[in-house]
Amino acid sequence: MRNPTATFSRASSLFPSLSSFPLLLSRSSITLASLAPATGTRTSPSRIPGTSRSWYSSNSSSRHASPPIRWLTMAPSTFKLNTGQDIPAVGFGTWQAGPGEVAAAVTYALKVGYRLIDAAYCYGNEDEVGQGLKAAFDAGHARREDVFVITKLWNTYSSRAEVGLDKSLRALGLDYVDLFLVHWPVGMNPDGNDDRFPKLPDGSRDMLWDHDHVATWRRMEALVATGKARGVGVCNYSAPYLRRLLEHATVVPAVNQIENHPGLPQQDVVDLCREKGIHVIAYSPLGSSGGPLLQSEPVTKVAERKGVSPGTVLLSYHVARGSTVLAKSVTEARIKANLEIVDLDADDRKILDDYSAALARDGSVQRFVYPPFGVNFGFPDKNSGRSLPNGV
């Protein structure tokens, strides 16, 4: 199995000004393999400056152990994927943006310095994302080759990966995407009563219960040779699902995009991804719609210490952990503000670390995004549902 080592580039400071964002230069690299200690050992502080107060083995059956959080003390501007691509540390997300709002938001995001745009067929707004990209390119805010574009294969196209990719490319107005991701490791009826969300007469999702996510991944692997996707990856993969996939994969996923925040650190998944050279992209960093984590006492405490907003703390949390984070808004002021990433010192990190550890110890982690597929995906906090082939 091909398993290239992923690295990330570190800048001396991140986003010193919005206008200089595209010009940041890296000074050093650290391999992601060095971030992951051997099972049952601690991370060497000489490798990763910061703290790691309690090691949690990814093979442990205990969901109450305190998860370690390994930190970077200097915020990087980009990360190196196992494909050789550089992916920005902060990206612009387009999920749940209302009709008529997305195009202008994408254009403005590129104008003020974003260089990663995250889209998906499921969101139903790829055409507007494409309009925003074109407007930004035409205005000279960015060049296509400087913008990292991600989109995703939806469940109703799990057996037709290239068809799904072609539909997304047409909507986006692009010849290729930088990454094409499996949105969820499930399949839904491609001939159902809706192209995105087919339902049965009782209102439940019209699922394909014989779906094998490994078969879908083989179709994804074949797309790289077409040139229409520069790399492929997955979303919403638990550690057990990822291990099953890697047993059969000839191409290691470039990324695993997961819900991730202090209330849901998912350290078992993050550690496995590091071990295998798979980069983590965090979505819903504020805890999904309404930003429920913005009012969390540990987050507001760190925000007061740093003199920044709780949102800035939550976004900076991921970059410090070595992950790319997706920020989303359609408000210009907030779009610009979300580019502010601050370095978190040891005391800041301990506050967030202790919060995550307490939630894990009490079995009360907070997962906000979990569609009603009725499938057991192998997440420790969601261990019910039906099993699928090569699942759990």
* Enzyme catalytic residues: 123
CB atoms within 10 A of CB 326: 24
State how far the Cα of 387 lies from the Cα of 186, in Å rounded to an integer: 11
Is 24 in contact with 269 (CB distance < 8 Å)?
Answer: no
Name the CA dihedral angle for 27, 31, 32, 34, rounded to a multiple of 10 degrees: -120
State how far the Cα of 279 lies from the Cα of 237, in Å rounded to an integer: 12
Is 346 in contact with 51 (CB distance < 8 Å)?
Answer: yes
Quote the crossing angle between the two packed helices 161-172 and 126-139, to the nearest 10°: 50
Pairing of strands 179-182, 232-235: parallel
The angle at the Cα of 139, spanning 134 to 144, to the nearest 5 degrees, equals 50
CB atoms within 10 A of CB 99: 9
DSSP helix/strand/coil, 310: helix
Cβ contacts of residue 208 below 8 Å, gap of 6+?
158, 186, 187, 188, 189
